[in-house]
Chains A and B, each alone.
Chain A
Amino acid sequence: MTRKLTMAQAVSEAIAQEMSRDPEVFVMGEDVGKYGGIFSATSGLLDKFGKDRIMDTPISETAFIGAGIGAAADGMRPIVELMFVDFFGVCMDMIYNHMAKNIYMAGGNIRLPMVLMAGIGGGYNDAAQHSQCLYATFAHMPGMKVVVPSNAYDAKGLMMQAIRDDNPVVFLFHKGIMGLSWMSYFEGSTNEVPEAPYTIPFGEARIVREGADVTIVTLSQMVQKAVLAAEELAAAGISVEIVDLRTVVPLDKDTILRSVRKTGRLLIADEDYLSYGLSGEIAAVIAENLDSVALKAPIRRLAVPDVPIPFSRPLEQFVIPQVSAIVAAARALVAAPQPAISLEETHA
């Protein structure tokens, strides 16, 4: 049986089902109990499982993320919420020097089945310290699987997979697709979700929509923007294929390559920072395979143009790629091959 769930409901249902199945699974973080998680990822779990398994923590991210590492090394399966991904700065040592590296430094002799989940993304005027995506930052440092779902169905299956994985998994949900009652969201993210448990393997991108003219490689909330852009482009006679990466580590290079070989045009739509990040990595995948990919136009990238996320609405809307920017960039790609134009122009 399926029913429509928001992404937040799907995440909390996945956690609940895994907690019912496996007594070693527990949740800790700030406001995960009575509040149900600031972004509702643990909504209703306290009533079901009690405070010993749904643990509100002090505002001590180093201590409780480190405690998650210690509990995971001992064989438990903690799900630890770092409320906003932006807060990683106060506890990054535990994340990248310990959670990410311990398995490697142990020569594979330990397991570290831990999920670190956090809210990402902007679009609701929360400014520079509460609006970043940063998935590429985690992906850049070896030792963390990085999961970035775009919709409720995927979120449930990917969360169940994350909990069962013996490696550390960073699970990043975009606030603007959680289906919260207090933040506008992209409704495409709320979809049919089976009640029964299921997993989605990591490293398998999803073709959201098949098309012939342009491949849009994207993830998270930007998938929903790309879908809206694709509809507009279809009306203009441009056929778009959308690849939802779903996981950044591992990265499904095969699906990217297959799609770009077919369309010959690549637009990367990303809400993380432009330079040294995800969009550059995807472009490199193509560049390294130009012997088997015939590009009809230079690759184009849409991303936050290397500035912190500004507060004011027109400023924020300008730096975070919008549907209109995706449409404009795809149109430009389909026009005759030309040198890349600047970000400012794509946003105009």
Chain B
Amino acid sequence: MTPSNAQLLWMYQTMVEIRDYEETMAKVYLEGKLPPNVQKGLAFDIGAGPVPGEMHLAAGQEPVAVGVCAHLRIDDTVVGAHRPHHFAIAKGVPLNEMTAEMFGKDTGLGRGKGGHMHLFDPAHKFSCSGIVGASMPPACGAALAAKKRGTDAVAVAFFGEGATNQGAFHESMNLAALWKLPVIFVCEDNKYAISVEKSVSTSIEWNSDRAVAYGMPGIGVAENDAVAVFKAAATAVARARSGAGPTLIEVKTDRYLGHFQGDPETYRPKGETATLRKNDPIPRLGAQLRELGLLDDDADKALRKAARDRVAAAYDFARKSPYPKPEDALLHVFI
């Protein structure tokens, strides 16, 4: 299945928005964290500034999010991992509340209790977890609920290649195949589990080959390309909706930034990021759109400005939002 013109445009525009969001966050995140505004002797202060804590950004990995989410409806579930923004944006999670959550504000998705790795938006059936490998079991549960209710909703679990050596991965693969759950497992292979290369951690080159051990199809996508991911996901989502069961997809993607912001990235070969950026999937899709007559300079400029405005408005909303009252920390252990 090839994407329609509308789907191509949506993927492009959404990738532009994700990239703008992540690059904006990379800047905002550094506010207040660098010398001379930090404790003497520190190179960086992780707990300072308007967005404290860890920050995992997904610039470069946009094709995985849009290629899969292009097939999803609002009643489909997405469970993401610790690097979740691209999935959230592609699933339709509102930028304002999502950003406010990362600022720890009362208007955030979790009223400031979750932060950037723990975004919960039940209206868009989106959640994520900071624990590696933890997206898969709950995605199986959402798929189980859909199956029990006889709907054709599906669930997607996104995770990195580092998660595939967790027990949760193997247990979930077996359970999903055994029960023919409408779930799609999507592995983002960005080459590094923090600093550890896949070749150091994983006994095979393609995790998608592991699917056969569980009696489900495995699809490997060799290109960090939205249309390639779209095609793989089309097959997997259709299979899940039809009740035929799960699929494992692995996409070779690229992480342009550190594991987290502030990562010295000493494990990368010199110049690797610059090389990766030469194969940027956003201009590549833009060029395809131009060839198809779906985009010209003016339209591109307008689309980029609109994305930039939405992102800027979200950061503005987050900055201007109030913090929760300190004693609100005592609320919401239970409902």
Residues of A participating in the B interface, judged by any CB pair closer than 8 Å = 26, 52, 57-58, 60, 62-76, 78, 90, 93-94, 97-98, 102-111, 142-143, 145, 166-167
Contacts and interface: CB of A to CB of B under 8 A. Distances in A.
Q: Interface centre among A73, A74, A143, by most B CB within 10 Å?
A: A74
Contact of B131 (A67, A71, A93, A107): A93
Q: Interface centre among A76, A104, A107, by most B CB within 10 Å?
A: A107
Contacts of B80: none
A66 B131 contact: no
A71 B137 CA distance: 10
Given A70-B79, A105-B110, A142 B333 contact: yes
B174 A97 contact: no
Q: Interface centre among B131, B142, B155, by most A CB within 10 Å?
A: B142
A58 B141 contact: no
Interface residues of B, number: 42
Interface of B: 77, 79, 108-114, 118, 120, 122, 125, 127, 129, 131, 134, 136-146, 148, 155, 167-168, 171-172, 174-175, 178, 331-335
A70 B167 CA distance: 18
A296 to B, nearest CB: 35
A136 B111 CA distance: 29
B134 A167 contact: no
Given A110-B120, A166-B335, A65 B137 contact: yes
A94 B174 contact: no
Contacts of A103: 332-335
Contacts of B155: 70
B134 A97 contact: yes
Q: Interface centre among B108, B174, B333, by most A CB within 10 Å?
A: B333
Contact of B175 (A63, A97, A143): A63
Given A102-B127, A104-B332, A70 B109 contact: no
A104 B113 contact: yes
Contacts of B334: 103, 143, 145, 167
Given A62-B168, A63-B136, A73-B122, 13 more contacts: A52-B148, A57-B175, A63-B140, A63-B172, A67-B138, A70-B77, A70-B142, A71-B145, A104-B113, A105-B110, A106-B109, A106-B120, A166-B335
Contact of A76 (B79, B138, B148, B335): B148
